[in-house]
């Protein structure tokens, strides 16, 4: 089950999947429970209490229901099997900032909350293996969070594993970051990766940026973000110069 609001993919038993389908159609918890209870009996009651707890804890089914799916399911599944072009890895649920408009903040209940979970190497490796096995010539790997640099060691491990196992595929990497943790050392490491792009978030000048992009104690993050930007520009600037000469 793919949940649009949280972006989570949940593995379901047949019984749970039927229940979720029922719930989406009836939009009434009691009706969905009754209908599936008669079909699956005791097994349903055991599984469903965990499922309902999970729905609440992880904010599933909160976002507005998708009314129209443009591409046919069959085409999407075929693409995922034979022509996968990009995977996005949420390296961590944590962030060192608490931006006032963040979709993971408490006031946005349609999305997941900040958590403490970090991606494990086993999950990352399985995702990369799948991507390499089910893509054609090119695959793009994107790092996301929370703030992905809070799990920089895993990012490095994934990049190195991918480059070692990609055979003749073209792999590109990108990362969306708040820039505040982007040290000189990290910038110089990223420079060694042949195709790595960085998407950084800065809202505007210091006054504008610090209105919303703040640490948990309310302090603005502008200075740290600009320092991170400077580090990456200086490192990548060296590469640009090398290409020129
Ligand atoms: S940096 Fe991004 S993830 Fe972190 S609080 Fe700000 S908007 Fe949210």
What's the pLDDT tens digit per position in 175-207?
Answer: 999 999 999 999 999 999 989 999 999 999 999
d(CA 40, CA 42): 7
- Of 115, 92, 99, the C-alpha closest to 216 is 99
pTM of the complete model = 0.76
Greatest CA separation for the chain: 74
Beta bridge partners of 107: none
Question: Do 182 and 232 touch, CB atoms closer than 8 A?
Answer: yes
Q: Which residues have C-beta atoms less than 6 Å from ligand 1?
A: 95, 97-99, 102, 104, 145-147, 178
**Structure confidence by residue, pLDDT tens digits, 123-151:** 999 999 999 999 999 999 999 989 999 99
> How far from 82 is each of 62, 78, 139, 165, CA to CA, in Å?
32, 6, 12, 18
Ligand 1 atom at minimum distance from 213 CA: 6
Section 116-125 average pLDDT: 95
Q: What confidence tens digit (pLDDT) does each residue in 63-98 have? A: 777 666 666 777 878 888 889 999 999 999 999 999
Residue 201 CA to ligand 1 center (angstroms) comes to 9
Domain 73-244, CATH class in plain words: alpha beta
Atom 7 of ligand 1 has which residue's CA nearest to it? 102
- The pLDDT tens digits for 27-65 are 567 777 777 677 777 666 777 778 888 887 877 887 777
Domain borders along the chain are 1-68, 73-244
CB–CB of 47/14 below 8 Å? no
């Amino acid at each position: 089950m793919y949940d649009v609001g949280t972006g989570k993919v949940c593995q379901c038993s047949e019984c749970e999947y039927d229940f979720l389908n029922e719930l989406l159609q009836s939009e009434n918890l009691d009706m969905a429970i009754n209908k599936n209870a008669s079909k699956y009996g005791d097994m349903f009651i055991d599984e469903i209490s965990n499922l309902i707890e999970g729905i609440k804890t992880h904010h599933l089914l909160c976002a507005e229901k998708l009314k129209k799916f443009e591409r046919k399911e069959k085409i999407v599944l075929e693409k995922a099997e034979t022509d996968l072009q990009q995977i996005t890895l949420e390296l961590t649920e944590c962030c060192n900032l608490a931006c006032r408009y963040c979709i993971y903040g408490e006031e946005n209940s349609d999305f997941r909350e900040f958590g403490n979970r970090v991606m494990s190497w086993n999950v990352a490796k399985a995702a990369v293996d799948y991507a390499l096995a089910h893509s054609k010539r090119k695959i793009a790997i994107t790092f996301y969070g929370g703030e992905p640099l809070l799990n920089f060691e895993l990012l490095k491990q994934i990049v190195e594993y991918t480059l070692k196992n990609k055979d003749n595929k073209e792999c590109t990497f990108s990362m969306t970051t708040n820039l505040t943790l982007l040290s000189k050392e990290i910038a110089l490491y990223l420079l060694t990766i042949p195709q790595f792009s960085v998407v950084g978030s800065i809202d505007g000048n210091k006054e504008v940026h610090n209105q919303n992009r703040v640490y948990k104690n309310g302090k603005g993050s502008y200075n740290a973000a600009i320092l991170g930007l400077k580090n990456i520009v200086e490192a990548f600037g060296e590469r640009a110069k090398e290409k020129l000469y």
